[in-house]
Structure formats: structure tokens, C-alpha cells
Homo-oligomer: A and B are copies of this chain.
Amino acid sequence: MIESSEELLEENDSKRKYKRGKIRDKNLEIILDAARDEFVLKGYNGASIQAIADKAGIAKANVHYYFKRKSNLYVAVLDEIIQLWNDYFDDIHVEDDPAEVLDHFIRQKVELAISHPKSSKLFAMEIIQGAPLLKDYMRNKMRPFVRKKSEVIEQWIHQGKMREIDPAQLIFLIWSSTQHYADFDAQVLTIMNRAEYEPEMIEQISDFLSGTILRGVGLEPPVKV
């Protein structure tokens, strides 16, 4: 269990960029992939280095060669996820059309969640358990993100373009409703009696969420081409 904050301050092995090489890069990738799978499926403590090594097709000691400590490997996996998320955040401006922006944001989040369900799940599990490793990230990255978007939304409201709502709540609503399809896929798919998401269903989900949320805040969903 990672409990003390000391662990976080330790060197994160995967970041030693000065030591490069094809073999190294390939191995880092397969280890990280295998680790993500194991951590999601079994949780941090339930995942064993042995199982990760087996899944990656290498010897257990070799995992330790790349990641000295299990906690370092875990942090590296989380880092990858945060990197992925950051790439998807785009800027919004007051001049933009609110309906277009929110529609695009919702569709983007649905796509990201469903195309990377394991990343979404691991992130969720971390936050549910109190976000011991992500408190800093949320304070330094997500809070400014929410604040920045909120300012723009606030101005749209001022201009009478949409209903008077709390912008932060709107962002939470978009986050929760979109991630739900990745995090709770076992529930959603069981209830809908499906084995997996199909492209047609993903579009239905996006249409529903965009349509409902936009109308909910007084916007008319953009017509699709």
C-alpha cells in the first residue's frame, strides 16, 4: 500500500529519459500496458509483479530492473493516463458558440472514455480511494481547468446565451455522465444485454448526452451534418 507521501517524492524510474534504446522503449511500453491491466483488474495491492511480468512476457526480476519499486510502476501508469487526458483538453473562448463547444466537449469525452476504458477506470479508482496520489494534480491542473472554463461559461450566461447555472456543476455533470460509460461498463452492458459497445450505440450515447445536457442548460444542440 502506498501511504506515505515519501513514496511520491522518489525518483520515478520511467522518467530517466537519458537512457534510451529500442529495447528499453519497447519493454517500458509492454510493462506499462500489462501493469495498467493488472492494476485495474485487481487493484494496487491485488496486482502482483509476477502477474504483470507474465502478462508482459518477461521475467519478474526484469520488471524490477525497469521499475525499482512497485509504487514507481504504479505512478508511471497514472502519469501516462494524466498525459493522455491533458492532450484532450482544449481551450475555449468567449467568442465561440456555447452549443458547439459543449457538444464537442461531450462527444470528445465519450470517445476518450470508451476508447480508453482502463485508463478511465484506474483514474476513477484512485479518486474513489481518496486520490492520495492525485491531490496535487487536481489542485494544480484540474482546479485551474475548471476555473478557466467557468469564467467563459459565466460570460455566456451574462450575455443571455444560456440559463443561469453553476458552471462547475455543469462540468461535473459532463465528466460524470461521460465517464460512467467507461467506468461502469460492466453494469451498463449487462443491463443493456450487450457484450461490448458498438459504434452505433456510442453515437446514440453521445447524441443523448449532448442533447439532454445542452437543452438542460438552455441551449439548442447543433444540427448534425
Contacts and interface: CB of A to CB of B under 8 A. Distances in A.
Nearest to A2: B46
Interface in A22-64: 40-46
A108 interface: no
Interface residues of A, number: 57
A37 to B, nearest CB: 12
A176 B186 contact: no
Nearest to A190: B138
A204 interface: yes
Contacts of A169: 204-205, 208-209
Contacts of A148: none
Contacts of A109: none
11 contacts: A124-B124, A135-B190, A165-B208, A165-B212, A169-B204, A175-B180, A176-B180, A176-B184, A177-B177, A212-B213, A215-B218
- A-B interface, 6 closest residue pairs, ranked by CB to CB distance from nearest: A216-B216, A176-B180, A212-B216, A45-B46, A43-B43, A45-B45
